[in-house]
Amino acid sequence: MPGAPRTAPAEAYAGAPATAPGGPAALPRTTAGGAGGPATPPRTTAGGTSPRDIWTRSRGFLVAFAVLLAAGLGLAALSSGARHGYLDPRSADPYGSQAVAELLKARGVTTRVVTTAEEAADAAGPDATLLVTDPDRLGETQLRSVRSAIDLSGGRTVLLAPSTLSLPALAPGTRTDGDGDAPDTDLAPGTACTLPAATTAGRAATGGGHRYTATTPGAAGCYPSSGHPTLLVLPTGVPGGDTVLLGSEDVFLNKNLAAEGNASLALQLLGSRPHLVWYLPSLADGDPDAAGTGEGQDFFDLIPAGWSWALLQLFLAAAVAALWRARRLGPLVTEHLPVLIRASEATEGRARLYRKADARDRAATVLRAAARERLAALVGVPAARAHDPATLVPAVAARLTAGPPPHAPDALLFGTAPTTDAALIALADHLDALEREVRTS
């Protein structure tokens, strides 16, 4: 804005050290010490920045990134490890099932772990129990293999928590009636239960999972929740064979085995035959039909759930770090530049910025503040009281000798902000006139 460079001090513009208005041009060299000291260029790289500066600027971000990365990996390890070996008869974790396998081994039951539906179907037979730990994870080909074993083996098949995804293929005529809503997951067999394994075991942790309803003749239900059984035994077409639907897998977990009648129920369900085939569906058990039609699992389906949460946490942490390190708006900070520039250049640049933003109020504030500081030094007012109208205005008025100026000192130094460029120019002219009058008095 015209007039803004006339009375505003160079120190107020861009925080750059500059000579006084009208002073000599600054030397275009880098200084290492105080004013007038010898020029000693700092050691820099080819790009003009020293390795020490690069490390100083980036070490905070690097340390924060390392901490966030370590935290993300730790959380991922905890998340993925919390259910490590889930329902695995070789795992001694709280969510494993090694305790059941050891008890069955003591009773003479051999346990074989398989990870594909083809192996499970081949191992099934009239003297074997086939346990499917996650029926809902099976594809169409795997479901057909397990269904073939149910129809032809003549043994027992135990399905853990099957839902509408797998029931139509593995247990036709059976449907789920929602999740268990009992406040206690331990349920009693019920008065209508005719299954000896359930009546002998008593209360067991079968609640909290699925409830079932079957229209198959000869089906036996136990452990009812909201009127529907959570354990259902269905006969098969082969004499001696049956299919057991268990709405919750908590009975077989190591952490629950010693509670209530869980151990008794687990041993009777899985130990009725001399051989136990423990089927743990895995990613290696691909679906050939799906692969042939291009409907196999994509890359994200192969990522464990724990790592997905870790990636999300890392993304959020990176976003927070970006917000933290981003440029923030705030008050101007004085920066000691390595080179000296002309005061007029800094003043004119600052004025152009004010004019572009129509910041007449800010420009007037800078003009008045600079004028008050210079006038306070001329009339002997302490710098700490330079912006106090009750102290500065009487002292300035006492130095005026040629009568009152066109504008009173209080209006000039502490008045309202101008609303037009012309008013701002007039304010700068009046401040100059006031300062000259005081200086020559």
Cα distance between residue 215 and residue 321, in whole Å: 59
Please, which pLDDT band fits residue 239 given cuts at 50, 70 and 90?
confident
Cα distance between residue 147 and residue 173, in whole Å: 14
Query: Would the pLDDT of 25 be above 80?
Result: no
pTM for this predicted structure: 0.51
Using DSSP's 3-state secondary structure scheme, residue 171 falls into coil
More confident residue, 32 or 158: 158
Per cent of the chain over pLDDT 90 is 39
Q: What is the pLDDT of residue 325?
A: 74
- Report which of 346, 434, 347 is spatially closest to residue 4, judged by C-alpha positions: 347
More confident residue, 299 or 14: 299
Q: What is the pLDDT of residue 31?
A: 37
More confident residue, 197 or 346: 197
User: Which residues lie closer than 8 Å to 186 by C-beta, 6 or more apart?
Assistant: 203, 204, 205, 207, 259, 260
Cα distance between residue 53 and residue 307, in whole Å: 36
What is 98-279's CATH topology? Answer: Rossmann fold (3.40.50)
Q: What is the pLDDT of residue 335?
A: 76
More confident residue, 67 or 44: 67
Characterise 136 by phi-psi region: left (phi > 0), alpha (psi -120 to 50), beta (else). alpha
Helices (DSSP H) in 97-184: which residue ranges? 98-106, 117-123, 140-152, 167-170
Q: Are the beta carbons of 108 and 274 closer than 8 angstroms?
A: yes
Query: Would the pLDDT of 348 be above 80?
Result: yes
Query: Would the pLDDT of 116 be above 50?
Result: yes
Query: Would the pLDDT of 208 be above 50?
Result: yes
| The dihedral formed by the CA atoms of 180, 183, 186 and 189, expressed in degrees to the nearest 10 | -60
Using DSSP's 3-state secondary structure scheme, residue 382 falls into coil
Characterise 239 by phi-psi region: left (phi > 0), alpha (psi -120 to 50), beta (else). beta
More confident residue, 205 or 15: 205
Please, which pLDDT band fits residue 186 given cuts at 50, 70 and 90?
confident
Please, which pLDDT band fits residue 339 given cuts at 50, 70 and 90?
confident
Query: Would the pLDDT of 216 be above 90?
Result: no
Judged by average pLDDT, the poorest of 80-94, 134-148, 217-231, 324-338 is 324-338
Q: What is the pLDDT of residue 406?
A: 56
Cα distance between residue 132 and residue 166, in whole Å: 11
Q: What is the pLDDT of residue 301?
A: 63
Q: Are the beta carbons of 294 and 136 closer than 8 angstroms?
A: no
Please, which pLDDT band fits residue 184 given cuts at 50, 70 and 90?
low
More confident residue, 52 or 257: 257
Q: What is the pLDDT of residue 207?
A: 85
Please, which pLDDT band fits residue 318 given cuts at 50, 70 and 90?
confident
Q: Show me where the domains of the chain are located.
A: 4-19+342-440, 98-279
Q: Are the beta carbons of 96 and 90 closer than 8 angstroms?
A: yes
Query: Would the pLDDT of 309 be above 90?
Result: no
pLDDT average, residue stretch 315-333: 77
Query: Would the pLDDT of 119 be above 80?
Result: yes
Distance linking the first and last C-alpha atoms of the chain: 30
Query: Would the pLDDT of 10 be above 90?
Result: no
Cα distance between residue 178 and residue 226, in whole Å: 10
Query: Would the pLDDT of 293 be above 70?
Result: no
- Report which of 84, 125, 118, 88 is spatially closest to residue 278, judged by C-alpha positions: 88
Cα distance between residue 262 and residue 160, in whole Å: 14
Instruction: For the chain, give the mean pLDDT.
Output: 79
**Amino acid, res. 371:** A
Please, which pLDDT band fits residue 302 given cuts at 50, 70 and 90?
low
What 8-state DSSP symbol labels residue 116? Answer: S
How large is the C-alpha radius of gyration of the chain?
Answer: 42
Q: What is the pLDDT of residue 226?
A: 84
Query: Would the pLDDT of 277 be above 90?
Result: yes
Query: Would the pLDDT of 283 be above 90?
Result: no
Q: What is the pLDDT of residue 50?
A: 74
Helices (DSSP H) in 234-359: which residue ranges? 262-270, 288-292, 305-325, 343-356
Cα distance between residue 17 and residue 72, in whole Å: 46
Please, which pLDDT band fits residue 267 given cuts at 50, 70 and 90?
very high
Query: Would the pLDDT of 316 be above 80?
Result: yes
Can you read off the two tokens belonging to residue 200?
A: 């002998």
Cα distance between residue 281 and residue 378, in whole Å: 91
- Report which of 217, 222, 218, 242 is spatially closest to residue 232, judged by C-alpha positions: 222
